[in-house]
Amino acid sequence: GENVEQHPSTLSVQEGDSAVIKCTYSDSASNYFPWYKQELGKGPQLIIDIRSNVGEKKDQRIAVTLNKTAKHFSLHITETQPEDSAVYFCAASKAATSGTYKYIFGTGTRLKVLA
Amino acid sequence: NAGVTQTPKFQVLKTGQSMTLQCAQDMNHEYMSWYRQDPGMGLRLIHYSVGAGITDQGEVPNGYNVSRSTTEDFPLRLLSAAPSQTSVYFCASSAGGAYNEQFFGPGTRLTVL
């Protein structure tokens, strides 16, 4: 079945360093790849997304890259700050034959930014 | 706007009991979904709906029922709770179309004894 693998499961970086989280998806028909940030005790919140017709997207300190051939995409956070500490989830989505669509999430990465 | 609201925030059930987790959104979103979150398992899709009267199964639908009688509400029913259903449950909604942001509720923490 459809699957999204996410690595690493935990990541610790020093404040100011960069963090990279990687995901691999199984279904080549997937065409939308969002990233969500979940703070303690809250629901996930979208931070950036990318469509399959784009190879890279950037929003201030956050960027996402997509390699459709290899079926993997990555989240890059530069100049990390303590408030970046959270759990990050990648997801892949595609339109189903019925016209509906559904998201498959990765297993999450707990990022700790050390002051 | 209140966004996506979920009730209750916490619930403890005994094995075999039934209950309904409530989810409502005030953004007139067509798409609503239910996820469960377990340690090391990420977010797994239980059921989803692309509009009133239309529902479909996700990755882990067994033991759960849903219905969508209105655009605003998407309740999740556990007919006979089992310890394996101990989890945190999130409801989410988004505007129609595959490329729209999903807005998540605050979650319901369910414990089944």
Average pLDDT, chain A: 93
Instruction: Answer whether A108 sits within 8 Å of B42, measured CB to CB.
Output: yes
Region B68-74: mean pLDDT is: 97
| pLDDT of res. A108 | 95
Q: Determine the Cα–Cα distance for residues A5 and A20; give it in Å rounded to an integer.
A: 14
- The rounded percent of chain A whose pLDDT value lies above 70 is 95
Per the CB < 8 A criterion, the answer to whether A51 and A30 are in contact is no
Q: Which residues of B touch A108 (CB under 8 A)?
A: 42-43
Phi, psi of B83 (to 5 degrees): -55, -30
- The rounded percent of chain B whose pLDDT value lies above 90 is 84
> Does the pLDDT at position B97 exceed 90?
no
Tell me the torsion sign for CA atoms B60, B63, B67, B73: negative
Residues 6+ apart with CB under 8 A from A60: none
Query: DSSP assignment, residue B102?
Result: P
* A39 → chain B, closest CA residue: B106
Instruction: Answer whether B90 sits within 8 Å of A103, measured CB to CB.
Output: no
